[in-house]
């Protein structure tokens, strides 16, 4: 068992390109689980939280399956490390200030991330590059079985898995894909599409999930319902909808090129100019600029391309740009470092 170390690796979803990488940044399959015989997490005493954490540590910490994983009590991680995990989409933004007993089990590739004592006792997560819902589910299911060996999960024969929030009841599964959809945004179709998807039980959310804003034209699609359908039916439907959205994005790009090529080229080239020359850039703007240059490159109107778009999404975050774990960086310094790093993600051909 590896202890939490300052040296963090790059998540595999950010480091590698997966299936449909042109449109799909990453896939996540998340299962909410709770142990029998304990109240839900928000009603746990500090002692009970500690019991759950210790029980997992004892049971899994010695196991061969988790031998390369980090077991981190979140409160003991330096704040910057927690913020980096949020920027890498390993932690929910609200877990940045962890409750006592909140912890995390993380694989070195960061494709496996189990949050402990969050909203539920366990949040089992598999995060992969590109569109890999089936693979994500297989791995999450295997992990689910392995964790049930620790202690029995709260389960109801009619309802399925019991969860702290009723929106997770049943399968306890939230599957999601992160999509880069600049064409649909520029064409003004995204608003409509969100409504249509909602009617098809698919939720559209921002860059950091629930209640967060859209950055860099990146949207998270996820299943709305967790109850009354099997996991594979939910995943099949989300996979199908994702492919449809990709088709709509392809069409939107073709329409843009046919009807607004000149103004698109202008926007794209300006974005490139700002990336190459700005001396300070905010995170939000950096993602918008990269998104535009990436689009320009993908539709073939720009002699430049974005290298490692997925990596940029995490590496350009504030916490990733802090050089010292403790103490504040001078105001504006982060934006300047970001501008310097941002340039390296663009390559003129």
Chain contacts with a second copy (rule: CB under 8 A): 262-263, 265-266, 269-270, 272-280, 332, 336, 339
Q: 19 or 332: whose CB is closer to a second copy?
A: 332
Please state the closest distance from residue 271 (CB atom) to a second copy, in A: 8
Buried b (16+ CB within 10 A) or exposed e, 17-42: ebebbebbbbbbbbbbbbbeebeebe
Q: Would you say 89 and 104 are in contact if contact means Cβ atoms under 8 Å apart? A: no
Q: Are 130 and 26 in contact (CB under 8 A)?
A: yes
Minimum separation from the CB atom of position 186 to a second copy (A): 16
Q: How many CB atoms lie within 10 A of CB 346?
A: 21
Between CA 80 and CA 318 the distance in angstroms is 9
Instruction: Work out how close the CB of 206 gets to a second copy at its nearest, in angstroms, rounded to a whole number.
Output: 26
- Work out how close the CB of 280 gets to a second copy at its nearest, in angstroms, rounded to a whole number: 4
Which residue carries 């981190």 as its tokens?
72
Closer to a second copy at the Cβ: 108 or 332? 332
CB of 276 to a second copy, least distance (A): 6
The least CB distance from residue 149 to a second copy, in Å, is: 56
Q: Please identify, using beta-carbon distances, which residue of 120 and 335 lies nearer to a second copy.
A: 335
For the bound state, the minimum distance from the C-beta of residue 266 to a second copy, rounded and expressed in Å, comes to: 4
Identify the sign of the CA torsion 55, 112, 28, 343. positive
In this complex, which beta carbon is closest to a second copy, that of residue 228 or of residue 303? 303
Q: Tell me the backbone φ, ψ of residue 106, rounded to 5 degrees.
A: -135, 130
Which residue number, 204 or 275, has a Cβ lying nearer to a second copy? 275
Whether 137 contacts 29, CB under 8 Å: yes
What 3 state SS string does 293-338 have?
HHHHHHCCCCCEEECCHHHHHHHCCHHHHCCCCCCCCCCCHHHHHH
Of the CA atoms within 13 Å of residue 289, those in its CB half-sphere come to: 26
> Could you tell me where the DSSP H helices lie in the chain?
12-15, 46-61, 79-87, 133-148, 182-186, 190-199, 231-277, 283-298, 309-315, 318-321, 333-344
The CB-of-256 to a second copy minimum distance in angstroms stands at 15
Task: Closer to a second copy by CB, 177 or 292: give it.
Answer: 292
């Amino acid at each position: 068992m590896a202890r939490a170390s300052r040296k963090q690796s790059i998540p595999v979803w950010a480091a590698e390109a997966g299936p449909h990488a042109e449109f799909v940044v990453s896939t996540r399959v998340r299962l909410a689980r709770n142990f029998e015989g304990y109240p839900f997490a928000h009603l746990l005493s500090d002692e009970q939280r500690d019991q759950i954490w210790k029980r997992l540590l004892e049971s899994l910490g010695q196991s061969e399956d988790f031998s390369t994983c980090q077991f981190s009590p979140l409160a003991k991680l330096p704040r910057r490390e927690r913020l980096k995990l949020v920027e890498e989409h390993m932690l929910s933004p609200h877990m940045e200030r962890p409750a006592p007993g909140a912890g995390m089990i993380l694989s070195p590739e960061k494709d496996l991330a189990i949050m402990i004592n969050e909203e539920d006792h366990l949040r089992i997560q598999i995060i992969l590059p590109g569109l890999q819902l089936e693979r994500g589910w297989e791995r999450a299911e295997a992990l689910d079985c392995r964790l049930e060996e620790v202690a029995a999960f709260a389960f109801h024969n009619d309802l399925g898995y019991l969860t702290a929030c009723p929106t997770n009841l049943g399968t306890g599964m939230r599957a999601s894909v992160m999509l880069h959809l600049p064409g649909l945004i520029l064409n003004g179709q995204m608003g409509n599409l969100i409504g249509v998807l909602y009617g098809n039980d698919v939720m559209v959310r921002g860059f950091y999930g629930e209640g967060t804003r859209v950055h860099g034209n990146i949207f998270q699609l996820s299943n709305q319902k967790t109850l009354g359908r099997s996991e594979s039916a939910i995943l099949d439907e989300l996979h199908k909808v994702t492919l449809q959205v990709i088709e709509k994005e392809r069409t939107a790009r073709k329409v843009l090129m046919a009807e607004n090529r000149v103004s698109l080229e202008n926007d794209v080239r300006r974005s490139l100019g700002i990336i190459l020359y700005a001396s300070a850039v905010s995170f939000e703007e950096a993602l918008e600029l990269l998104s535009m240059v990436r689009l320009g490159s993908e539709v073939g109107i720009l002699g430049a391309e974005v290298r490692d778009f997925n990596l940029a999404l995490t590496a350009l975050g504030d916490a990733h740009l802090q050089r010292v774990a403790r103490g504040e960086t001078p105001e504006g310094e982060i934006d300047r470092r970001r501008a310097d790093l941002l340039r390296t993600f663009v390559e003129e051909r």
